[in-house]
Chain A
C-alpha cells in the first residue's frame, strides 16, 4: 500500500485519503465537498495539457487542479 499524492494517481486508480495538507480556506472547501481522512477516492480522468483531475468520492464527482491534488496524500488500493 504505497503512500503517494492524489496528483500521482492514474485514471481508474482507487485510493484512501491519508491526509490533507492544504491551507485553511482550501481545507474547509475540500471538507465540504467530502474529502476526509479515510475516505475512498477514485481518479476518473485527467484533462489534457496538464489540466485538472476528475475524482469521485462517494456520490460526488469533483474537479480539482493537479497543484491542489498534490496537497492530498493518499494510499493507493
Chain B
C-alpha cells in the first residue's frame, strides 16, 4: 500500500487536514525505527487504498527535540511515497525553510498552503503558479478548516502518487550550515511570489488580547473562564445524565428483566446486576464526556491555551516548570495520557520528567464522572458545583506541591520560547468530529475495561455462592476486610475500598463497580450511597480518588515515555502516599472539628 506522510510546523492545521482526509477514521499504530505511536488512516484515492500518517509538527528537520528525531527516523526507515507538506500561509516567510529542507531530501512532495482564509483576512496574497514554477513543486492554496481548495489538492495528490518514488538521499543529517543557502533561496522565492502588508491588522485578536492578557485582569479572567466552563458542564450535563440513567432503568424493568426471567437466578444476576447495571451506570456519563470534550476542544482550538501559558509562566517558572507545563496540566483535564505524550516537545529530560510527575494529578474526565456522581448524591444542587470546583483546586494544589518538592531533583534550564497563534473559532464540523472521536475512544475503553471490570466485581461480590451478596463473607468482603486497617483512618468503607482497587485499572470502572456492589443503578445507587455515607467520608473518598494513580493506561504511558522503571515506581508511590496523607488529614481534621 502506498504511504503519504503529513509534514509541517506546529500550528499549521496539519491535524485538521488529517481529519478531513481520513474523516476521523484514524488509528494509532507503531512504526519501525521509532518508539512512539503515530496516528494513521487509510483512504481510497483514485482506485487505490493509501495510508496517511500524521507526523508530529516540527520547526526544523535538523533539530534535536524528541519530535524532530521521531520525524527524521520515521522518514529514514519508512520512506513515504509522497510527502504532503503543509505550510501556514500567514507565516509563509518563515515556514518555507522547512519546505526547502524537505525538498533537499529528494522526496516526492506536494505542498499545501493552508489557512488560505486567514491569509486573505491578513491581506497576504500568494502567486501560487509562480511559486510552483520557482520551486518546481506542485503547490495548492486551501483551507483545511472550511474545505475550500481541498478537492483540487486531493486530485494532485492522486496524480503525484502515480509517479515512482525517487530514492531518499542519505544526507538526512546535513548540517544547518547549509541553511545559509536555504535563506537566500527563501528570499528569492518569497520576493517574487508573496506580498505581505507592512503592518498586520488582526484587530479582533489585538482587542481580545488587550483584555485577556491584561496585566491585572488576565489571571482573574482566566480562572473565571475555567469556572464557568466546569459549571456549564455540570449544569448542562447532569440533567442529561439523570435522564439517560432513568431510560436504562426503565429498559431493564420493562424489557430485559421479563425477557431473562427464565434463566437461572445466578446467570440473571450476572447479566442484569453485573453487566447491565455496571455498563448502564457508566454509559449514562457519555453526554457529560461529550460536553466536556466539546468545551475543551473549543478552548484548545481557539488559541486561548497559549495565552494561559503566557499568564501562568511566571508562577510555573518558580516551580521548575514553564507555561507549556501549565497547558499540559489543562490538557490532562481531558485525559492524562495525551498530556503525558505532549511533554515530548520539551528538550530537557529533567523538565520532561518533572512535568510527567505532575500531570497525573490533573483531574481527568474519568475522575470527573466519579465526582459528579458523588457530589450529586451527597450535596445539595447549590453546593455541588462548588464542591466540584474545590476538587479542581485540590488537583492544582497537589500538582504545585509535587513540583515544589521535586523541582531540585529534576533541575533544568530549558528555554521557554513559544508561538502565540491568533484567536481562531472552531467550526461546528471540527467540534462534532472531535466529540465523536472522544465518544469512540470512550466506548472502546468501555468494551475493553469496563465490561471485564464489572463482571469481575460481580464475581468477587457474589462468590462463594453460599455467602450473602456483597457481605463480609464474599471474596470482595474478605479483601475489603484485609485492607480495612489501611482505609479506616481515612474514612473509606469496605465497599468503597473494592471500588478503589478497580479504579486502579481505570476510573471509569469505579461507578460501575459500585453499581454492582450495591446491586443498584443510577439514581437509586446515588441515594443508597447518600444514606450510607456522610459528606466527610464521601469527600475523603473523592480526595483519594483524585490523587492516587489515575489508571493503568497512564502508568503504561509513564513507563513508555520515561523508559525508566524507577521513575514510574516513584510516580505511583508518591501519588498513593499523597492520596492517603491528604485524605487522612482531611478526614481526621474534619472529624476533630466535629463534622
Contacts and interface: CB of A to CB of B under 8 A. Distances in A.
B311 A25 contact: no
A30 interface: yes
B213 interface: yes
Given A45-B213, A58-B196, A60-B419, A28 B313 contact: no
Contacts of B311: 47, 51
B63 A63 contact: no
B415 interface: yes
B179 interface: yes
A33 B58 CA distance: 11
A64 B90 contact: no
A36 B184 CA distance: 13
Contacts, number: 108
A70 B117 CA distance: 36
Interface in B341-395: 347
Main secondary structure, interface of A, reads mixed
Contacts of B124: 59
A29 B59 contact: yes
Interface string B409-448: 0000001111111100000000000000000000000000
A43 to B, nearest CB: 13
Contacts of B415: 22, 25-26, 29, 64-65, 68
B477 interface: no
Interface in B529-552: none
Given A32-B59, A58-B196, A62-B418, A52 B347 contact: no
A63 B215 contact: no
Interface string A46-74: 11111110100011111111001000000
B12 interface: no
Contact of A48 (B176, B196, B314): B314
A63 B310 contact: yes
Looking at A28, A32, A54, A64, the one whose CB has the most chain B CB atoms below 10 A away is A32
Interface in B246-302: none
A25 B412 CA distance: 14
Contacts of B420: 54, 61-63
B190 to A, nearest CB: 11
Contacts of B315: 49
Looking at B98, B124, B310, B421, the one whose CB has the most chain A CB atoms below 10 A away is B310
Contacts of A68: 415-417
Interface in A14-51: 22, 25-26, 28-34, 36, 45-51
A21 to B, nearest CB: 13
Contacts of A48: 215-216, 218, 314
A62 B420 CA distance: 5
A75 B317 CA distance: 28
Contacts of A64: 415-418
Interface string B168-204: 0000000010010001000000000000100010000
Contacts of A59: 90-91, 93, 122, 124, 196, 200
Looking at B63, B200, B418, the one whose CB has the most chain A CB atoms below 10 A away is B418
B471 to A, nearest CB: 57
B314 A47 contact: yes
A64 B322 CA distance: 11
Contact of B416 (A25, A28, A60, A65): A65
A13 to B, nearest CB: 15
B323 interface: yes
Contacts of B90: 59
Given A33-B417, A34-B94, A60-B419, A28 B310 contact: no
Given A30-B417, A63-B309, A63-B323, A58 B93 contact: yes
B64 interface: yes
Nearest to A22: B415
A34 B124 CA distance: 17
Interface in B54-99: 59-60, 62-64, 90-91, 93-94, 97-98
B409 to A, nearest CB: 22
A32 B323 contact: no
B94 A60 contact: yes
27 contacts: A25-B415, A28-B62, A28-B63, A29-B59, A29-B63, A30-B417, A32-B94, A33-B59, A34-B94, A36-B183, A45-B209, A45-B213, A47-B310, A47-B313, A49-B314, A51-B310, A51-B311, A51-B313, A52-B313, A54-B213, A58-B196, A59-B93, A60-B94, A64-B415, A64-B417, A65-B313, A65-B415
Interface of B: 9, 59-60, 62-64, 90-91, 93-94, 97-98, 122, 124, 176, 179, 183, 196, 200, 209, 213, 215-216, 218, 306, 309-311, 313-315, 317, 322-323, 347, 415-422
Interface of A: 22, 25-26, 28-34, 36, 45-52, 54, 58-65, 68
Closest 7 CB pairs of A and B: A51-B314, A32-B59, A49-B314, A61-B420, A34-B94, A48-B215, A63-B418
Given A47-B310, A52-B314, 10 more contacts: A28-B63, A32-B60, A45-B209, A52-B310, A58-B196, A60-B94, A61-B419, A63-B420, A64-B416, A65-B313
